Structure 1
Amino acid sequence: MTDTLAQARAALREVVPHLVTLVRNVPDPHAISVGTWTVGDVAAHLTHVFHLDTDAIAARPLPDATVTTAGMAEANATMLARDDERNPLLLADRIAALADTFDDIASRARAATVDWLQDTRLPPAAVACHLLEECLIHGYDIARAVGRPWPIRRHHALLAIEGAVLPLIAVLPPTALVDQDRARSFQARFDLRLRGGGRVLMAFARGSLTLQTGGARDVDAHLSADPAALMLVFIGRRGIGKPLVAGKLTAWGRRPWKLARMLTAISPP
């Protein structure tokens, strides 16, 4: 845990200065970024995530939120409605200051686990990796909206997936990250191999998602994935086609077509 926390803090110290520069140079905070959110909304949301994850590690009270697509949309909308700041210069300064505060508090984290949303408990390392994931994804959202590059380094994406996404799947209810309407009849097991990282079995069964261990001989498909490409595909920022053609994702097995169905079944918050 200590090693992963140190890696996540180091990654944030690398990513946040680029994020701050990106936000500071936003030409139009009213430009649409992702969904109905403007670039200013995304930047403000990022400051809320910094507050949330800092409060978690500091053992301060957290908002009451359900970690599902609908639950987090409601919580995020409430926070954005209470915070009308959309000035890129001020939000950039806020992100920089909050990042320093987070790093200071994380450097003194000693608890094995801390309270997080929906009565879950996570290692401080997972909280730091969650913050890293949010910076990577929303940095991508802002950069795409303003026509700027936003390269995501493999080891940063790997930390976000192995250090945050997989631990969250493990502790949340198995229905939390699955679209119940689209996945009600979906059953499949996938052997996910993260390039530069480890392997995990993902099992979908009628509206639930669990992680499993053991042999991968009876899976429907194997997926070898570049972590950055996988993260953007899973979160719905890219389709699966181009990463497959580019070799960023490689699939094989008895039923590789089920991977496309999996992407419709997943419902990230």
Structure 2
Amino acid sequence: MAATASAEQWRTARTALADQTDRFVGLVRATDPATMCTAHWSVVDTLAHVASLAWYYACLVDREHPPLPVPGLSEQLPGVTVDTVADFNDVLLRHLPERDPGPLLDRLQADVKRLLVVCEGRRPDETVPWLGGARVPLAGLCAHLVNELLIHGHDVARAAGRPWPIPGRDAALFLELFLVGVTRHGYGRLIDGGAPPSERPILVEFRSAYAAPVRFRLQYGRVSVVEPDAEPDARPDARIDHDPATLNLMMFGRVSRARAVLSGKVRISGRRPWLLPAFLRKFRTPS
């Protein structure tokens, strides 16, 4: 199996996690915690969600870390899919009743620090169990948490009327390290459902200014990564040239597909671009 992350990518992911944690903490400190930033979550609810993920990830890399106070958590995790992750998040929040921003911010910073300290001496391709029976490499775990900070920072900033620029290099880590990593190492039942199995393959290529091109194939209901040196002459059915921040906001339902395309920040081409919707019905994220 090809390496999921180089030493440089591994450093970039950890640096991005430290930087975006600091940005998110500063934004939340400057915002009224009662402000609603989604239909159901206030700023402090959003903070509690992000803090719960950092706590969970610290537990994944450090078995001695105090566990989340959620009864039967380990039994619930294998059954979670992208379509039920919202319900899982609700379960976490019900068992984490703290809504004072101070302790939650302290918790978030301490758990991110612990995660980074432990990862310092570990390989980026070392995997840990994740939702839906997936296996996520440590580089992908850090990249996923970076994306959570960026997406939810966007929610908080929009509600507060504050700027929240999303660095393209940091945003690119979600596709480059998390989605590629979890696909290579096994996504379990994480994206069960979606498009019905088909014998006809769909080859989709993602390109940005911040990362090497990435190709995925959907066939027989399974998504796989097409390694860089494999099938060099194969033409993608669909090619997505994108600004990583816009792509991520689109994938998580913060920007509509129409708006992303009309802005020119997500451009679709290829020999059979009409196959892309079928691919995206399978290769999807919670929105």
The answer to whether the superposition gives a TM-score over 0.5 is yes
Q: CA deviation at 1:96?
A: 2.4
Matched, 1:47 2:84: no
- Could you tell me whether the CA contact under 8 Å between 1:158 and 1:227 is conserved in 2? yes
Deviation at 1:57, TM superposition (A): 1.9
After TM superposition, give the deviation of residue 20 of structure 1 in Å: 0.3
* Partner secondary structure for residue 37 of structure 1: coil
**Partner in structure 1 of residue 82 of structure 2:** 69
The answer on whether the counterparts of 1:157 and 1:231 sit within 8 Å (CA) in structure 2 is yes
Give the distance between the partners of 1:174 and 1:110, measured in 2 at CA. Answer: 22
Cα pair 1:136 1:152 within 8 Å, conserved: yes
Which letter does structure 1 place at the counterpart of 2:57?
Answer: D
- Matched with 2:18 is 13
Among 161, 171, 182, the alignment partner of 1:168 is 182
- Pair 1:256-2:273 in alignment: yes
Change (3 A) 1:233 1:112: closer
Instruction: Give the aligned partner of residue 79 of structure 1.
Output: 92
Deviations 1:16-52 (A, max 9, x none): 111001111222435142x533332221011111111
RMSD of equivalent CA atoms: 2.8
User: How far apart in 2 are the matches of 1:199 and 1:111?
Assistant: 20
With over 3 angstroms needed to count, the CA separation of the structure-2 counterparts of 1:90 and 1:98, relative to structure 1, is same
Q: How many residues align?
A: 266
Deviation (angstroms), 1:165: 1.9
Q: Which amino acid aligns with 2:177?
A: G
What corresponds to 2:258 in structure 1?
Answer: 241
Counterpart Cα distance in 2 of 1:253 and 1:70: 29
The TM-score, its normalising length taken from structure 2, stands at: 0.80
Give unpaired runs (5+ residues) of structure 1: none
SS at match of 2:47: helix
Equivalent position amino acid for 1:51 in 2:
W
**Aligned residues: percent identity?**
28
Structure 2 unmatched runs, 5+: 1-5
2:222 pairs with one of 208, 214, 232: 208
Task: Quote the Cα distance in structure 1 between the aligned partners of 2:8 and 2:239.
Answer: 29
In the TM superposition, residue 232 of structure 1 has moved relative to its aligned partner by 1.5
Change beyond 3 A, Cα 1:3–1:111: closer
> Equivalent of 2:236, from 219, 222, 230?
219
Change (3 A) 1:31 1:23: same
Match of 2:8 among 3, 10, 19: 3
How many Å separate the matches in 1 of 2:32 and 2:281? 34
Q: Distance in 1 between matches of 2:107 and 2:214?
A: 37
TM-score by length of 1: 0.84
Structure-1 separation of matches of 2:240 and 2:127: 32
Contact 2:37 2:158 in 1 (8 A): no
Of 152, 157, 166, the residue aligned with 1:152 is 166
